[in-house]
């Protein structure tokens, strides 16, 4: 009877131990912040257009848990080839899902029309490192 109980307990606990690393991995992925790097590569209109977009972006970003980490028009190329973008920004989001929700949101798509009417951009999303425990 003891062996039967031990086997039953092992059968019940076994999937927990098998799934546990997977669950931990999923949770860790969700806890990883994400960053968006915005580079203005070419200005095609008045600077007032970008100022209008910046105002819209400041209103939209908090809805997705995002914040600016950096915004600069004074950038320095430390290594590599090519021109230094005149303007750059780094945004922090809670995770990659939040980045996707923000980027695809109707309000961001409308604001992007304003942004693109006066410049060309590269926008890159990267996943951050998990927090240290």
The CATH number given to 32-127 is 3.30.70.100
| 94: three-class secondary structure by DSSP | coil
CB 108 within 8 A of CB 102: yes
| pLDDT value at residue 132 | 83
- The β-bridge relationship of strands 119-127 and 34-43 is antiparallel
Chain position carrying tokens 């062996």: 3
Return per-residue pLDDT of the chain as tens, 133 residues.
Answer: 666 555 555 555 555 555 555 555 555 555 899 999 999 999 999 999 999 999 999 999 999 999 999 999 999 999 999 889 899 999 999 999 999 999 999 999 999 999 999 999 999 999 999 988 7
Domain ranges for the chain: 1-31, 32-127
| pLDDT value at residue 26 | 54
Q: Dihedrals φ, ψ of 58, to 5°?
A: -60, -30
Residue 36 pairs in a beta bridge with 91, 125
| pLDDT value at residue 31 | 86
């Amino acid at each position: 009877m003891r062996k039967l109980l031990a086997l039953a307990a092992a059968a019940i606990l076994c999937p927990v131990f098998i799934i546990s690393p997977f669950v931990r991995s999923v949770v860790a992925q969700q806890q990883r912040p994400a960053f968006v790097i915005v580079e203005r590569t070419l200005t095609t209109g008045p600077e007032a257009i970008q100022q209008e977009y910046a105002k819209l972006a400041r209103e939209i970003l908090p809805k997705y848990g995002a914040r600016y980490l950096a915004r600069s028009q004074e950038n320095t190329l430390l290594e590599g080839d090519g021109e230094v973008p005149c303007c750059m920004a780094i945004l922090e989001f809670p995770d990659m899902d939040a980045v996707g929700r923000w980027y695809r949101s109707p309000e961001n798509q409308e604001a992007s029309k304003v942004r693109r009417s006066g410049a060309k951009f590269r926008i890159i999303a990267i996943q951050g490192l998990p927090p240290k425990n």
